[in-house]
Amino acid sequence: MADEEASDAAPAAGGSSKKMIILGLVGVLLLGGGGGAAWFFMGGEKEEGEKHAKAEEEEHSEEPGPVMELDPFLLNLADRDELRFLKVSIKLELDRPEEKTDYANKVPAIRDVLLVLLSSKESQILRTTNGKRRIREEILTRVNGVMNKGKVANVFFTDFIIQ
């Protein structure tokens, strides 16, 4: 009986070592494959990142468009409690040279749109940084809605006084 147990244990031990070797080989292959895939994808990402960076450099290497200054605005704000005034100077950066836009013909319409927009705001909103950011976005949208040829790329406040 002791011989039978010893003979049964020997094949089991040999089978276990074969299983361990196979599992070890599978593990090495999986790790190697995963490492190879990571190297391949990381190398591809690097190339893609380099292409993207070059494209960004080309976009930013272009000179900014001309910056057009509007006459200062002095207007009443929509505050109900007190009479509040806003004095603001605005500069508009065009996306192309002025000659290729209809900016010069649209200045009266642009000023009208901005007067209506700014006079509808309350001083509490305009005093905050977020309020100025929002009004800048609204100006950009409204002015681009007026222009037919060319667009405004950026809006700059050079004076902003609420009294």
**Better-predicted residue by pLDDT, 81 or 64:** 81
Over range 34-62, report the average pLDDT: 59
CATH number of the domain encompassing residue 97: 3.30.479
**Phi, psi values for residue 149, rounded to 5°:** -110, 120
Check whether 51 has a pLDDT greater than 60.
no
Helix/strand/coil percentages in the chain, nearest 5: 65, 15, 20
- 13 and 43, same domain (yes or no): yes
Count up the domains in the chain and report the number.
2
- 138 and 101, same domain (yes or no): yes
- 152 and 77, same domain (yes or no): yes
- 56 and 123, same domain (yes or no): no
Check whether 127 has a pLDDT greater than 90.
yes
List the single range of 45-59, 63-77, 92-106, 112-126 with lowest mean pLDDT: 45-59
Instruction: Note the pTM of the prediction, 2 decimals.
Output: 0.61
Q: Which domain holds residue 55?
A: 1-62
Average predicted confidence (pLDDT) for the chain: 83
Over range 13-41, report the average pLDDT: 75
- 93 and 158, same domain (yes or no): yes
Helices 103-119 and 129-146 meet at what angle, rounded to 10?
Answer: 140
Domain edge (last residue) among 62, 84, 111:
62
Domain edge (last residue) among 10, 34, 62:
62
